[in-house]
Chains A and B, each alone.
Chain A
C-alpha cells in the first residue's frame, strides 16, 4: 500500500529537516521524503497543507492497567486515547495485577496489544517481584520477552543494595532502569510541602523526598555504569542533580510530565483530587527549573504518567483519593499552546522531546522519518482550537486538572505503520 502525505511542514529533528515536503509511505515504511514527490498509481494522497508532519510521538510512561484493573483502563481504551492524543507508541508500566514481573504477563500484554491495541505497546518490566522491593524479578526473561526498560514505578525501591544489583544485572540487556524517585519515609505526604500545604493543613512531602532518591540513584548509576532514567522529575533540586551528573558523563536521562511543567501546588487549594498525583505538583521555582531543563536538554523527553482511575477512587477526600491523572489526550495540545505558541520552546525541540528523545533512550525504532523507518507519524494542526472536556476522552479515566482549559494547536492525524489510527 502506498500513501503520500503532501504539502506538510516536515519537522524531523533527527534528520535535521524543517521544511515543506512530501512523505511517501510504502508498505508501512517511510519510502522517501522530498519536495514535489509524485505518487505512484493507486496511492492515497493525504493533503497536509498547513499541517506539521513529525516522527510519531512516544509516551514512555503510561499505565494501561491491563491485566487486572480493566475498570480503570484497558489496552484497547488506553491505546485509543494515545492515538487520539497524537502518540504512535506507549511504554506501559508494570503495576498491573498480576504485576508484570515475569514473561507470562509480558507475553499477555503484547498479545492483547496485537489484538486490541491501535498504537505500539512496549511493556516495562518490574525491577522486583510483585513490586515488593525485596527480590529481583526475572529481568533476563522479561528482556527476552520484549520489556524495553525496568521499573517499579509507583513505588521506590528503598533498598539501595537491591537497586544496585538490579542496575548491574540489567547491564547486558542494554535497557534503562527507570527510577520512581520518592523516598517513601520522607515522601508520604498528600501534596508538596510548602506554604500551600501549611495553609491547607494537608500533610506535605518535601522536594527532598524526590531529591535524596535522585541523588542516590545517580550515585548507583555511577557505581554500576547502568543507564538510569529518572521518571517524572519535578523539583529544581532533581534537575540540578541530573544536570551535574550528565556533565560528569553519568548515563542518566530524565522525563517530565506536562502537569509538572504547567501547574504549581497553588491549584491544590480547591482540594480537588484531580490535582493529586505522585510526585505532587511543586512550587513555582520547581516548574521554572523543569521548563529550563526541558529547553536545554537536561530533560530528554516529555512523558505523561497517564494514570487512569475510576471516578469513585478520585472523587472523595483529597488525602484519601488515589494518586494519578490521565494525560494522553491533553499532553500534546497543552504543550503546543502553552509552550510552543508563546515561544518558550520551539517546535523542533518539542518534537524531539516527544519522539526522538524517548525513542533513543529506550532504543526503540521510531523517532525519525528516515527512509526505511516504520511510518509512525504524528501530524499536528497548529491552528486547531480545543477545550479539554473529560467526557469526550477515549480513556476510561476522567481525572485531569486541565478540565475546561482551552488552547490552540492539537494533533490532527496519527499514523502507525502508515495506517491512520486517529484523525
Chain B
C-alpha cells in the first residue's frame, strides 16, 4: 500500500483504504511476536522518541516494544505535568528534539491539539499517542484490528461504546475509525458524560445501558476517571457502577457472541465486573497484543517506507 503521510494525528484524517492498509500491515507484523528471536532489521539506524507528557505505562511500553522489535533506537522522554510547569514551552522542547534528528516522535499530551502543533514545527513524523480528549488513533486501529480478527470483518457490525464519552479520546478515535469502516456505533452513558451535539458525529446516543448493548456485536467499556465526581458529572462511583457497570447479569440479554473490549487500564468493579473482565467474552488482552503490532505498522509506515 502507499502511505503518503508525514504524521499520524488522528483517525479523522484517514480514509478507509489507509485504515485497511495499516491493519493489513499490522497483521503481517504480528507474526514477529511469535518468533523466538523477536527482532527484524526494518528500522535499524532509525530513532524513535517517545515524548510522553502524561503518565502511561501501556501505550509507552507498547510503542517501545514495537520500535525495538523493528530494531529502531527508542528513547523515552517523560515529562510529568504540562510543559509550562517545567518552564520550557512545548515548542521549545520540540525544537530541541528536532535538533537531535529523530525519525519519529511519538507524543502524548494532556492538551488536545498538541501533536498537531508539534507536527507543524517538526520535519520528522509525529504519531499522536493521545492528546487530551481529542484522539488516540493507534488505540482505534488496534481496536479495529482486534474486531476484524475476531469477527472476520468490520462492515455491518454494531459497536456500543459505554461510559465517559465527553472526556474520551479513545471514543472519538473509535467513532471516526469505525464509521469509516461501515460499523454502526452507539454511544451510551449518563447525559452528563455525552458531549454536545454528539449525534452529529454519526452515532446513536443512548442513556440506557441495557437497550444500548442488546444488539451489540462489540461492547467497548471506557475507563471512568475517579475525578469525574468532583466535576459533578456523576454522584458516586457506587451509583455509576450500579447503573453503567457491566455485570454478567446485564450480559445475559446480549448476543451470545458479543465481544467485551476496554482500552485499559480497567477499574475492576467500576465499569467492569471482575468476572466480566475475565470472561470468555473479553478480548482485552488481545487488544494489548495487537497494540504492539499496530504500532509496529505505524512506525514502519512513517519511518521505514521512505527507504533507509
Q: Evaluate contact between A198 and B201: CB separation under 8 angstroms.
A: yes
| Bound: A319/B82 CA distance, A | 11
| Residues in A neighbouring B172, C-beta threshold 8 A | 199, 201
Give chain A nearest CB distance to B88 CB in angstroms. Answer: 10
CA distance A284 to B161 in the complex (A): 30
Which A296-349 residues sit within 8 Å CB-CB of chain B? 312, 315-320
* Contact among A195, A271, A319 with B197 in the assembled complex (CB-CB below 8 Å): A195
Question: In this complex, what residue of B is CB-closest to A197?
Answer: B196
Checking A193, A194, A198, A318 against B113 with a beta-carbon cut-off of 8 angstroms, the contacting residue is A318
Contacts of A197 in B (CB 8 A): 195-196
Q: Within residues 197 to 244 of chain A, which ones have a CB less than 8 A from any CB in chain B?
A: 197-204, 206
Using Cβ atoms and an 8 Å threshold, which residues of chain B touch A201?
A: 112, 131-135, 169, 172
**B89 contacts A198, CB within 8 Å?**
no
Complex contacts, A198 vs chain B, CB 8 Å = 195-198, 200-201
Chain A residues near B198 (CB-CB < 8 A): 198
Give a binary string over B79-112; 1 marks a CB under 8 Å from any A CB, 0 the rest.
Answer: 0001110000111000000000000000001011
A198 to B187, CA, bound (A): 14
Tell me how far the C-beta of A118 lies from the nearest C-beta in chain B, rounded to whole angstroms.
34
A316 to B92, CA, bound (A): 10
A320 touches B197 (CB 8 A): no
> Which A residue sits closest to B133, measured CB to CB?
A201
Q: How far is the CA of A420 from the CA of B117 in the complex (A)?
A: 43
Of B12, B91, B111, B201, the most chain A CB neighbours within 10 A belong to B111
Contact partners of A200 in chain B: CB under 8 A: 112-113, 134
Cβ B84 vs Cβ A199 within 8 A: no
B283 at the interface (CB under 8 A from A): no
Whether the Cβ atoms of B84 and A316 lie closer than 8 Å is yes
Complex Cα–Cα for A199 and B12 (A): 9
In the complex, A174 Cα to B134 Cα: how many Å?
49
Contact with B along A73-101 (1 / 0, CB 8 A): 00000000000000000000000000000
Question: Would B132 and A319 count as touching, CB distance under 8 A?
Answer: yes
Q: Kindly state the separation between the CA atoms of A271 and B84 in the bound complex, as whole angstroms.
A: 17
Distance in angstroms between the alpha carbons of A197 and B198 in the assembled complex: 10
Contacts of B39-91 to chain A: CB distance below 8 A: 82-84, 89-91
Bound complex: CA A206 to CA B195 (Å):
11
Contacts A195-B200, A200-B134, A201-B112 given; does A317 touch B12 at CB 8 Å = no
The interface residues of chain A lying within 8 Å CB-to-CB of B14 are: none
- The residues of B that contact A199 with a CB separation of less than 8 Å are 12, 172, 201
Residues of B within 8 A of A319 (CB): 111-113, 132
Mark each residue of chain A from 248 to 291: 1 if its CB lies under 8 Å from any CB of chain B, else 0.
00000000000000000000000100000000000000000000
Chain A residues in 8 Å Cβ range of B91: 315-316
The closest CB in chain A to the CB of B166 belongs to A198
The distance in angstroms between the C-alpha atoms of A203 and B195, with both chains bound, is 9
CB distance from B133 to the nearest CB of A (A): 4
Chain A residues with CB below 8 A from B277, complex form = none
Hey, what's the 0/1 contact readout for A163-206 against B, CB within 8 Å counting as 1? Answer: 00000000000000000000000000000011101111111101
Contacts of B111 in A (CB 8 A): 317-320
B183 at the interface (CB under 8 A from A): no
For A195, list chain B residues within 8 Å (CB). Answer: 196-197, 200
| Residues in A whose Cβ lies below 8 Å from that of B82 | 317, 320
In the A-B complex, the 5 residue pairs with the closest CB atoms: A271-B113, A201-B134, A317-B111, A201-B133, A198-B195
A contact set with B: CB distance below 8 Å: 193-195, 197-204, 206, 271, 312, 315-320
Q: Beyond A206-B196, A316-B89, list 11 extra A-B contacts (CB 8 Å).
A: A195-B197, A198-B195, A201-B135, A202-B112, A202-B113, A202-B132, A312-B89, A316-B91, A317-B90, A317-B109, A319-B132
Can you list 24 A-B contacts with CB-CB less than 8 angstroms, sorted by A residue number? A195-B197, A195-B200, A197-B195, A197-B196, A198-B195, A198-B198, A198-B200, A198-B201, A199-B172, A201-B133, A201-B134, A201-B169, A201-B172, A202-B112, A204-B196, A271-B112, A271-B113, A271-B116, A316-B83, A316-B117, A317-B82, A318-B113, A320-B82, A320-B84
